């Protein structure tokens, strides 16, 4: 079983939709949780960084961590075509573990 | 100013050759990493260095040899390249001591194609 599971998609939504991206994990030692956005042929760019359970909001993005269910989510409100990218979840204990990424396409 | 920069961006080479990728970070971070991203976008850690010392060495063929001349630089040398080495290699850095508590910043990647 992989440490971090993420649905690869692709996920296609119309502009303005609310997007929900999710990851599950198996290692209860994970304490730090991150979401990265990766455009085609670019490096991953850190979007959200959270410690432990709870919600964190930054503009149109909300990251949610539920440690009891070993489940993290990223919500994107009022999605834009410029949000089209691959979204990678990551978490860490003594090192970083990444999901395989969900490809998101926001159609104008 | 680019925070984590790596060169070259693209590498096309023949099987059996030796190649190097260089990485520099100007963030003042203590820890640097090399990751390999395959065609399915899966990011796998290869090595990490904290203040020039190797702290993570995953199961990577010993044809891959990292070198950190100082804490701002981490280079990757690959000997006897194989077809399966074709991938995008990302350098990254973080402020923590490699225990995973810091934010990870990535370079733009070096796309290696082995023919």
- Of B101, B107, B109, nearest to A32 by CB-CB distance is B101
> Radius of gyration of chain B from Cα atoms?
13
- Cβ distance B43 to A94 less than 8 Å, yes or no, reads no
Mutation pick from A95, A97, A100, A101 vs chain B, by most beta carbons of B within 10 Å, is A95
Instruction: Please give the pLDDT value at position B96.
Output: 80
The Cβ of residue A1 has, within 10 Å, a number of other Cβ atoms equal to 4
pLDDT, one tens digit per residue, over B3-30 is 999 999 999 999 999 999 999 999 999 9
pLDDT, one tens digit per residue, over A70-79 is 999 999 999 9
Residues in chain A with pLDDT values less than 70 = 1
Cβ proximity of B105 and B6 under 8 Å:
no
- Cβ distance A34 to B41 less than 8 Å, yes or no, reads no
> What number of H helices and E strands is found in chain A?
0, 11
Cβ proximity of A3 and B73 under 8 Å:
no
Q: Which residues of A36-50 are buried (b: 16+ CB within 10 A; e: fewer)?
A: bbbeeeebbeebbbb
The count of CB pairs under 8 A between chains A and B is 57
């Amino acid at each position: 079983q992989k440490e971090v599971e993420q649905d690869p998609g692709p996920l296609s939504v119309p502009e303005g939709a609310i997007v929900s991206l999710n990851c599950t994990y198996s290692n209860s030692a994970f304490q730090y949780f991150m979401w990265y956005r990766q455009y085609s042929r670019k490096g991953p760019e850190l979007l959200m960084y959270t410690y432990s359970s709870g919600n964190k909001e930054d503009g149109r993005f909300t990251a949610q961590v539920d440690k009891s269910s070993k489940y993290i989510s990223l919500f994107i409100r009022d999605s834009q075509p410029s949000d089209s990218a691959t979204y990678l979840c990551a978490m860490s204990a003594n090192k970083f573990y990444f999901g395989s990424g969900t490809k998101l396409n926001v159609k104008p | 100013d680019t925070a984590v920069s790596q060169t070259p961006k693209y590498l096309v080479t023949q099987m059996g050759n030796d190649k190097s990728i260089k990485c520099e970070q100007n963030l003042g971070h203590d820890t640097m990493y090399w990751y390999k991203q395959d065609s399915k976008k899966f990011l796998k850690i290869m090595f990490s260095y904290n203040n020039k010392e190797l702290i993570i060495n995953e199961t990577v063929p010993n044809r891959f040899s990292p070198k950190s001349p100082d804490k701002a630089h981490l280079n990757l040398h690959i000997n006897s390249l194989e077809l399966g080495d074709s991938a995008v290699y990302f350098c990254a850095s973080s402020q923590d001591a490699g225990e995973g508590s810091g934010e990870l910043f990535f370079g733009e990647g070096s796309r290696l194609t082995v023919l």
